[in-house]
Amino acid sequence: MEDMMEFLRTRRTYRRFAQRPVDPAIVREILEAARIASCGANRQTLRYAVIQSPEAVARMQPLVHWAAYLPPEQGTPGPDQTPVLFIAVCQDESLPGCNDTDEGLALGSMTAAAWAHGVGSCIMRAIDRPAISELIGLREPLKLRTVVAFGYPLHKSRIVEMKDDVKYYLDEEGNYCVPKRRMEDILIKTL
């Protein structure tokens, strides 16, 4: 159990990446993790677009917005630190039961499967949906929901105890510090 908790503590958001492609077998495993994730009434309404060619990744990069709590020069990856892979998560709206819970379960499964191979991720909702939809050729009834950036991290990301603010920040070494509330702050009651 301790190994699993350490895995979850280190499976944070990463925003600066080595320029090394993610092996196709790992990409396939990330998609498989999303495919088999639990979903309400087994509806399976999510679809995925993989953006991995260097040209497509370069076109995607300006369409996503990084680290809102940080100044752009700190939060946005430099030219030699961009993701090497994006996966767009889309909803098939012709199917009944569109729901954020199903998307959250798929995102958690995808990012955990990636991290099991040392591939970091950043789930992004601050994105240019019309431009990305055009880039990937998305047509109705599919609707873009989220984009996930992937790559091998160039920095660390760690949990710190929250003092007064939920905003993440960079430490003196340029690593992300992610404040989390204490257990006694989130546990309402035990019966």
Q: Which residue has the tokens 């396939």?
A: 28
Q: Which two tokens stand for residue 106?
A: 């798929």
**pLDDT above 90 (res 159):** yes
Query: Which amino acid, residue 4?
Result: M
Amino acid at 67: A
pTM (two decimals): 0.94
User: Where residue 1 falls among pLDDT bands split at 50, 70, 90?
Assistant: low
Both tokens of residue 179? 């404040």
Helix/strand/coil for 126? coil
Q: CB–CB of 106/46 below 8 Å? A: yes
The 10s digit of each residue's pLDDT in 37-73 is: 999 888 999 999 999 999 999 999 999 999 999 988 8
Q: Which two tokens stand for residue 93?
A: 């709206």
Query: Domains in the chain, start-ordered, CATH in brackets?
Result: 2-154 (3.40.109.10)
What pLDDT score does 96 carry?
81
